[in-house]
Amino acid sequence: MSAVSELKDIQEKNNSMICVGLDLDKKRIPSDYSSSIKGMYDFAVRMIEATCDIVAAYKPNLAFFMELGPDGLSLLEKIVKKIPDDVRVILDAKMGDIGNTAAHYASAVFERYKADWVTVNPYMGYDAIRPFLDYQGKGAFVLCLTSNPGSREFQFMHVVNKPIYMYVAEKVAYWDKEQNLGLVVGATHPEQLADIRGAAGDCPILIPGVGAQGGNLEIAARAGTDDFKKLALINVSRSILYASDNNEDFDKAARTEVQRLNSIITDIRNNVEQEKKDRRADQGR
């Protein structure tokens, strides 16, 4: 089964587009869990157990684990093992290096850390991405238009009357022969997200920037899926992980927040379907 098919299956099973970003920030984790590796592990496990049946994916950010040294990388391995097999794991590492080096990165991502997807940087071209595509059932989300303010410094530059991010979208759609490539597009660029969706073919889109960064959930869900005809993931980190700083109920608060987001997206989808029915009815009159 292709990486995209497995992503679609878990979205349908758990009725969710939500990807929870596992950005384990010791400054924000409840105090009883922030002072040790074991505490951070327990925090992550409670978070996973509280939400794994209502999300599609988890996205651990490699930087938060590297910061902790060897123990942090061991922590990453242990956390991934606690994620159910059918829920997708996206290692947010933004890798991109020459082919021989990329092959070692790919081995680490997929064999050692057992991720299903990885985020990669397209700046060095296809040969830097190709090694990640040699693993059957695994996939790579390619940075296309990121949610940070600095994205405008390069990604919006026009080359022959077209912004660079559109070249990335078109190239990735062309490279996607095995249903194992996707794009990263920030919810903070709603108009561009719709344009990229049109150029991306059937590639799934990973959409960060909803919540703390100010992206609009409804616009992201509709534009990222072309009104629910295509595949997308909405990544949310801080508003789920740190929905409560209480040592006792943070996992329940996280579940409540995921359920709230799922409910909003379901309502949006239902409204879209109703709009379609109303248009068909008007055309039949």
pLDDT at 14 over 90: yes
E strand residue ranges, the chain: 18-22, 57-60, 88-95, 117-120, 139-145, 181-185, 205-207, 232-236
How confident is the model over 185-228, as pLDDT tens digits?
Answer: 999 999 999 999 999 999 999 999 887 677 899 999 999 999 99
- Cα 257 from chain centre: 17
Averaged pLDDT, 27-48: 95
Quote the mean pLDDT of the chain.
94
Query: Given a cut of 70, is residue 285 above it in pLDDT?
Result: no
List, in sequence order, every residue forming a beta bridge with 22; answer none if it has no partner: 60
**pLDDT of residue 171 exceeding 70:** yes
Burial class (CB in 10 A: 0-12, 13-18, 19+), 124: middle
Q: Nearest Cα to 58, choosing from 92, 16, 88?
A: 88
Q: Rounded to whole angstroms, how far apart are CA atoms 153 and 201?
A: 26
- Which one-letter amino acid corresponds to residue 233? L
Domain boundaries, the chain: 3-284
Q: In this predicted structure, which of 13-27, 81-95, 190-204, 267-281 has the lowest mean pLDDT?
A: 267-281
Q: Which of 92-96, 154-158, 167-171 has the lowest mean pLDDT?
A: 154-158
pLDDT band at 177 (very low <50, low <70, confident <90, very high): very high
Q: Which residue has the higher pLDDT, 154 or 269?
A: 269
Two tokens, residue 176: 């996607």
Instruction: Give me the pLDDT at residue 212, please.
Output: 66
**Does pLDDT of 284 surpass 80?**
no
For 29-49, what is the mean pLDDT? 95
- Which pLDDT score, from 0 to 100, does residue 156 have? 86
* pLDDT score of 29 more than 90: yes
d(CA 51, CA 240): 10
C-alpha dihedral, 34 to 249 to 14 to 86, nearest 10°: 30
Catalytic residue among 26, 78, 82, 94: 94
Q: How confident is the model at residue 281 (pLDDT cuts 50, 70, 90)?
A: confident
Query: What pLDDT shows up at residue 265?
Result: 97
Q: Give the 3-state DSSP-derived string for 86-123, with helices as H, strands as E and coil as C.
A: CCEEEEEEEECCCHHHHHHHHHHHHHHCCCCEEEECCC
Q: What are 213-219's contacts with CB under 8 Å, separation 24+?
A: 213/147, 213/186, 213/187, 213/188, 214/188, 215/147, 215/186, 215/187, 215/188, 215/190, 216/187, 216/190, 217/187, 217/261, 217/264, 217/265, 217/268, 218/264, 218/268, 219/187, 219/190, 219/193
Global pTM value: 0.95
Residue 247 confidence (pLDDT)? 85
Q: Which residues of 72-106 are buried (b: 16+ CB within 10 A; e: fewer)?
A: bbebbeebbeebeeebbbbbbbbbbbeeeebeebb
Output the pLDDT for position 135: 96
Mean pLDDT of 85-106: 96
- The full DSSP string for 172-185 is HHHH-SSS-EEEEE
Cα–Cα distance measured from residue 5 to residue 166, given in angstroms and rounded to the nearest whole number: 25
Averaged pLDDT for residues 44-72: 97
Packing angle between helix 217-225 and helix 250-284, nearest 10 degrees? 60
List pLDDT tens digits, range 240-279.
999 988 888 999 999 999 999 999 999 999 999 988 887 8
pLDDT score, position 33: 95
The answer to whether residue 276 is catalytic is no
Q: Which CATH architecture has domain 3-284?
A: Alpha-Beta Barrel (3.20)
Q: Which residue has the tokens 């074991």?
A: 38
Identify the band that residue 19 occupies on the pLDDT scale cut at 50, 70 and 90: very high
